[in-house]
Structure 1
Amino acid sequence: MISTANGPRWVLALTGGIGSGKSAVAERLAALGAGVVDTDRVAHALTAPGGAAMPALAAVFGPEIVQADGAMDRAAMRARVFADPQARQQLEAILHPMIRAQTEAELATCPGDYLVLVVPLLVETGTYLPLADRVLVVDCPVETQRQRVRARNGLPEAQIDAILASQASREARLTHADDIIDNSGDFAALGLQVDVKHSYYLGLAHQALAD
């Protein structure tokens, strides 16, 4: 439970590797009435045209990582950080505190039956785990992740490998799970699982507030 402007709130942390389908799960939970705060969306806003992180990023990495519209060139930055571990550390030093501050601000005012905190690197960083009452991992085989990322982003295999290597292993992620959604099937199967989990989480949230 966390304290917010709306009183105590029950928080579900939602995570999964790239291509696992966590965004689809978050969207479904939001449609069912949960309040969703997504750290990836927060990061995108910070690095959009006029984003609060852009002056610091441009100062450290130079104009080559800034697009014509003023947003961060994500492809250029991705290539930079995967080629240079120090650049990755610099990027994280700028972005992570800003993402955390904005995430906490949004959690404090987010409406919904309970809160869903979407953190792709929940296990890797560990910094958001204390905010969560429960952890839901969206899981699928690594080869399924590869196929989805290849189809969605068109990234070369080397970049897909680098992204997967930078994330926790499937096994490590599952050790932190209180609940698991298997997204190795189709969208209909995923939706049925999410609906069941939502009903369960409503009960947990109401019980926590009543205690």
Structure 2
Amino acid sequence: MKLTRQEWLKLRVPLIIFALALIFITVFVSVAENHKNVVKSGLGAQKNQLAQAQQKYRTSGHEKETIVKYLPLYQALVNDGFIGEERRIEWVDSLRTIHQKNKFFKINYSIASQEDYKPTFPLNAGTFKPKHSLMKLELSMLHEGDLLTLINALDAEETTPFILRDCELTRLVQSIPNTFSPNMQAKCELDWLTMHEPQESKP
């Protein structure tokens, strides 16, 4: 069927309205779909934030338990001088106290500058930095037991932990026999050990 010109003119307005309606529907559907994607993406981000917050909460709880568990031990190591700055004055005071208490003949000592400690055994110090200070000792003795007494007394003192490197014993020749004088001399080296806490990053 062929439409006349007048009939086409009558249909022009409805056709234009129909075309505009199609365009509007298409735009509306596109906007609605885009809004749906935005909402979905925002919901996913909120879920991720919630999961991260829950993980941080669980982690903070675990860290709190760890701190509560190990804080007394950590504080004890700080009090003993193992963690923190070296305590040379306390080391010297301990030697003097042991010397006077046990009435040793003579003790000479020297302490080298503190250096990084590189042990020959596996050591997992984490973020702490192990340090050591070399002390050289010379002890005049009546017999070998004096050296054991000195080492055991140092170990019993509430001071920084140490590692005995080596000792060399030398027998002395008495110029006057049967007198109360040193018969032996010991030369020892030991390491006073400390752990330095990690430096906090400056802002």
Query: Is the TM value for this pair above 0.5?
Result: no
User: Rg bigger for which structure?
Assistant: 2
Instruction: Flag the structure with higher helix content.
Output: 1
TM-score, length-scaled by structure 1: 0.20
TM-score, length-scaled by structure 2: 0.20
